[in-house]
Amino acid sequence: MITWMQRHRKYLVVTIWISTIAFVGAGFVGWGAYSFNSNSSSVAKVGDRKINFKQFNLAYTNAYNYYNRMFSGKFTKEQAEQMNMQQGVINTLIDEALMLNFANDLGLVASDEDVKNTIANDKMFQKNGAFDIQKYRLLLDNMKMREQDYENSLRREILLKKLDAIITPTGSRTKELLGSTLFMEDKISMDVINANPNDIVVSDEVLKKYWEGKKDNFLTEKSYKIAEGFIGLDSVKDVSEDEIKELYKEKKFTFTHQDGKVKSLEEARADVIAEVKYDKAKKEALKKYLKVKKGKEKLSKELEIFESNLEYPIYKLIASKPNDVLKPIKVKNGYKVIKLIAINPPKPKDFMQAKEQVLAIYRAEKNQENLKILAKDKLKDFKGQDVGFVGADINSSLGGLTQMETRVFVSKVFEKNDKKSFVILGNKAVVYEVLEQKLLSKEKLKKYNVYLTQASQGLQNQVMRTKLLEMLRKRYGVEQFYNPQKGN
Residue pLDDT, tens place only, 30-70: 333 333 344 457 899 998 899 988 888 888 888 888 888 88
HSE at residue 24, side-chain half, CA atoms within 13 A, is 15
Domains (ranges, CATH) in the chain?
2-172+456-480 (1.10.4030.10), 184-216+350-439 (no CATH), 221-344 (3.10.50)
- pLDDT for the residue numbered 270: 93
Q: Please report the pLDDT score of residue 247 as a whole number.
A: 93
- Sheet bearing 420-425, strands edge to edge: 385-391, 185-194, 428-438, 420-425
A 10 A CB-CB count for 315 gives: 17
Question: Is pLDDT at 186 greater than 50 in this prediction?
Answer: yes
Instruction: State yes or no: pLDDT of 422 exceeds 50.
Output: yes
Q: How far apart are CA 188 and CA 435, in angstroms?
A: 5
The residues with which 192 forms a beta bridge, in sequence order, are 430
Number of residues that make up the chain: 488
Residue 9 has pLDDT above 70, yes or no: no
- Average pLDDT over the chain reads 84
329 sits in which H/E element: strand 325-331
- The pLDDT of residue 116: 92
Query: In which band, very low, low, confident or very high, does the pLDDT at 296 lie, cut at 50, 70 and 90?
Result: very high
Average pLDDT over residues 353-378: 95
pLDDT value at position 456?
A: 67
Judged by DSSP in three states, 205 sits in: helix
Instruction: Tell me the pLDDT tens digit for each residue of 81-131.
Output: 888 999 999 999 999 999 898 888 888 889 999 999 999 998 888 888 888
CA dihedral 348→352→356→357, nearest 10 degrees, is: 10
**Span 367-389, average pLDDT:** 94
Task: Give, as one character, the DSSP assignment of residue 171.
Answer: -
- Inform me whether the pLDDT recorded for 213 exceeds 50: yes
Distance (Å, whole) CA 375 – CA 407: 20
Q: Which residues of 38-52 are buried (b: 16+ CB within 10 A; e: fewer)?
A: ebeebbbbbbebbbe
Sequence-distant (6+) residues with CB within 8 A of 154 are 110, 115, 118, 119
Burial class (CB in 10 A: 0-12, 13-18, 19+), 216: exposed
